[in-house]
Structure 1
């Protein structure tokens, strides 16, 4: 009995293996939703079509790049299995189902096609962050705006600048080389959606300020008298720059160095320093910055010297295209650090009359563009201190309409130079032509025979005739050279006659040689 039982078991196992080896599983099919929200309960179904009856099939649901399975279920008689899942954010990705015969490794497992499952987490908590954090950038520099979302998946972004949508669809917007037009309000709209009706969005905005770096400041000094004290006003100003601007005044003298800081919403600042006449009080310099690198002004000396000495008046013509179009009068004083100049015509102050243009903040130059009978007369200037009432007058200079009527020396020089150049050019051409004519070659080209009887004259004696012809040409050339040595030059006009004579002579000799001898 024991041997029979063992034999039966062995036969049964062999029959089972035979059946298993002949079994082939088809590919399972995974049914799952395409999209879902975080927190929803979703059903994943897996089935092997035409599965063999009475065979236990093990189904396993897995996600790509995840070692842990979402569940294992066994089904019989070709039934499908159900995998219920509570959707999490991490479930976004590719899923597949694997089927195998339970408790049998002899039948290869099969895998379904990959199914992409999109998980939507509604967008929340959007913040627009700037780099640099101040959201301020200088012209030509770079700035980055980042739309940071606290929660959300599959987010699309929409940027706008001053209410106008831009073409940027990423989470960052770059201003590589900012211009003044880039300043303004920027907003970022982050959104995602489950379907056409369930749309989630949130936005944030920030203001970007584009600044112009402050230019190099100009420093100037003015002097005024307050009772018996003289005060120098130091003015520091920049032409360009975005306020506010921080100004720093540095006063350096024998006693030490002093710094004065000022913050202004304008492009200028001032400082008052008490001084004594004719004494060096040191130097002053200012510095300006509005967040970019600081820029320094020139240094000026704090010294006040009253005007004194002689005052001179000079004139200078204003030219345009070699023509005099105006007259400049320049007034200079021998000494004085802060002079002021006033102009007079026939002892009457010109002030701000329309016919006269006073140039410079100190009025040192007077420009006359037109001179009429009204503006003719004696001009003089007067130099005074900007802080005093005493003045020094210059000598008087008479000016009338004739000052603008003469041709400038430059125009006369140009015209004269052009005339002399043309004279030299014509003279040179004439001399070169005479020399070239005297150096013409004396050898003339070989004469040609134009007679229709040329072919009949050719014979075996052609070579001697040609030799005799060349001898005749050499004789003529020798005669010409002899005449030249004696101081007589043959005229070029005589050569045609000589050539014709040579042709006739050669033709006669050829005819004589061609005649048959008489017997």
Structure 2
């Protein structure tokens, strides 16, 4: 009986130890089970991905469970062999994005793996470019932004300008900001075609899509309009024409003409920056004050006023001569200017020894081949003697008439005689290069004037010295006479001048036919 009680007591003492040992075995098995989940963190929508769950040192059978967000069971796999991996293949949908982990149960123990966050990448589609402002038209100096919009996720953007990739380093005028291409101050160089590329990348796989091309137009602000007018004659009638124009700007622009603040015409210029308006005009009458006005979608400008008065050519006409020298003070050319006192639209013609020079068909500011020694400019009002020699000596004058009336009267200037001489012309053999040394070269006009002025000063100085000497000598003689004969009257030092002395020859100042004479020495 006692032995039986002792055995029962021993059994009761062993049971807690066995229970603790069993619990320890379970706990140790649970902590030693450490599964590992491997797989992608990004995947394209519609593709398939594979997750691998591995539990090293697990005893079979092992149960593998792939769990999603919120403890959702994705898939289960049972492995009846030890130390194996479970494979889970998923088709990626829009709801596949999230975190995944793996639970492993083996030998009565359960382990939880690491977590993998899967991102679902949507390839780019529906690529297009929008602009700010829209449509893609910008003025010089304004801000302009292009946006690349696309459907998809995890996208990057690349811009192309005239088929060349735009980068911040190669194109400092552009600024890249996400899906935007920013131009802080637009210039004419920014005009052209643009398109963008949206692309996504998963590991080594890249997918991209391009937008359609967008043509950007850069406009120039219109400049202040200018105004001019002209007149023509057909038979006995006169016709006026007012021209409005701007020097810079982007068409189309609208030009309008006001006469005494009343609009008389309007024209839209689509290809140029000039417009013409017919107006009534009569020579000698004030037809009113005209202004040009130009309008664009962002500007409205008005020209300076001009009075529509055509003054006929009348009054005095004269020729002014100016000489032009080279850097070495050698005379290069002579410039003759025709000054017309009255006339809005004078036509000027030049005559040399009563012959028209150049011909009436001569084009302004060009040189006629047959008369290359002459050139005209400034609407024929200026004549240049491009070559100076004895052949150019003679009488020059200009005449003017109204340019709009070919049958109108001429108003002529007095003739100007230009005499061109060459001191060394006869001493030099023809067509032979000059062998004169610099010491024997002809003096320039400035050198001759300088030498003449020095000689004049020297003569003046010598004359002054002589006068002082004579005055001093006469003073001594007067004192001597006064001393020797005090009672006698002083005799005059010189006899009175004859009446003929000091007169000038009247014929030397006679001016024949009011002609001017200009002598040029070269």
The TM-score, its normalising length taken from structure 1, stands at 0.61
Structure 1 position 176, deviation (Å)? 4.1
Mapped to 1, the partners of 2:103 and 2:256 lie a distance apart of 85
Pair 1:333-2:352 in alignment? no
User: For the Cα contact (< 8 Å) 1:36–1:120, is it kept in 2?
Assistant: yes
Structure 1 position 37, deviation (Å)? 2.7
Aligned to 2:8: none
Mapped to 1, the partners of 2:87 and 2:146 lie a distance apart of 47
Name the count of aligned residue pairs.
Answer: 395
TM alignment of 1:33-72, pairs within 5 A = 33-40=40-47, 42=49, 44=51, 46=53, 49=56, 60-62=67-69, 68=70, 70-71=72-73
Aligned to 2:114: 112
Write the deviation string for residues 159-205 of structure 1: whole angstroms up to 9, x where unpaired: 44434444479643344444544433333333446676885534421
Mapped to 1, the partners of 2:22 and 2:325 lie a distance apart of 121
Pair 1:343-2:355 in alignment? no
Counterpart secondary structure, 2:311: coil
Aligned to 2:387: 370
Q: Which segment drifts farther, 309-318 or 22-31?
A: 22-31
Mapped to 2, the partners of 1:56 and 1:124 lie a distance apart of 42
User: For the Cα contact (< 8 Å) 1:25–1:110, is it kept in 2?
Assistant: no
Counterpart secondary structure, 2:134: coil
Mapped to 1, the partners of 2:447 and 2:289 lie a distance apart of 45
Mapped to 1, the partners of 2:22 and 2:299 lie a distance apart of 89
Aligned to 2:197: 189
Pair 1:385-2:402 in alignment? yes
TM alignment of 1:502-513, pairs within 5 A = none
2:291 is aligned, of 285, 291, 304, to 285
Write the deviation string for residues 242-294 of structure 1: whole angstroms up to 9, x where unpaired: 4x34142332317x444523223123221111123333222222244666645
Mapped to 2, the partners of 1:91 and 1:407 lie a distance apart of 101
Aligned to 2:463: none
Which structure 1 segments of 5+ residues have no match?
A: 1-10, 63-67, 102-106, 421-519
Aligned to 2:417: 398
Structure 1 position 91, deviation (Å)? 4.8
Mapped to 2, the partners of 1:274 and 1:343 lie a distance apart of 32
Structure 1 position 396, deviation (Å)? 0.9
Pair 1:251-2:258 in alignment? yes
TM alignment of 1:54-453, pairs within 5 A = 60-62=67-69, 68=70, 70-71=72-73, 85-89=90-94, 91=96, 95-97=99-101, 112-115=114-117, 117-149=118-150, 151-167=151-167, 171-192=179-200, 199-242=207-250, 244-253=251-260, 256-258=262-264, 260-288=266-294, 293-321=299-327, 323-350=330-357, 351=359, 352=362, 353=368, 354-361=372-379, 363-388=380-405, 389-402=408-421
Write the deviation string for residues 326-361 of structure 1: whole angstroms up to 9, x where unpaired: 222222222222222222212222233333222223
The TM-score, its normalising length taken from structure 2, stands at 0.60
Structure 1 position 395, deviation (Å)? 1.0
